[in-house]
Amino acid sequence: MLTSDEAYELYERAWNEPEQTAMHLARCWAEDGVYSDDDVPDGVIGPAALTSLIVGTHKALSGFRVWRTSEPRLLAGRLCVTWASEGGDPSETQAGADVIEFAADGRIARVTDVYLGT
């Protein structure tokens, strides 16, 4: 069973290592896990769909990377962390926050990703 910190670390690596995204998500993402953000408010379901979204982001935004801007904080069984990202040509920066829910085995069951601005 993964701890919330281990699951988040793998998730963050999935966003920053596109060649290994599928491998990282296979370890940390629930089969029916849901990712949603302002661009996909209805969400994408499952590790294959999220892998496609992440790899597509890297193709659309050259040099894309994301990093946490706060330490992950566990509240009522949910992890919250703020982040920043940059990528593209010209480079654009965004900021946001993730609220992450976990399945019983410690894998990520849901990420609600909220953009906070540029």
Tell me the domains of the chain and their CATH numbers.
Answer: 4-117 (3.10.450.50)
Question: What is the pLDDT at residue 117?
Answer: 77
CA distance 101 to 39: 20
The DSSP letter of residue 5 is H
The whole-number pLDDT of residue 19 equals 96
- Residues in Cβ contact with 94 at an 8 Å cutoff, skipping those fewer than 6 apart: 84, 85, 86, 115, 117, 118
34 backbone dihedrals φ, ψ, rounded to 5°: -120, 130
For the segment 25-79, what is each residue's pLDDT rounded down to a tens digit? 999 999 999 999 999 999 999 999 999 999 999 999 999 999 999 999 999 989 9
The pLDDT of residue 34:
98
Beta carbons of 56 and 35 less than 8 angstroms apart? no
Structure tokens at 39: 């661009």
Of all residues in the chain, the percent with pLDDT exceeding 70 is: 99
CA distance 7 to 112: 15
pTM of structure:
0.93
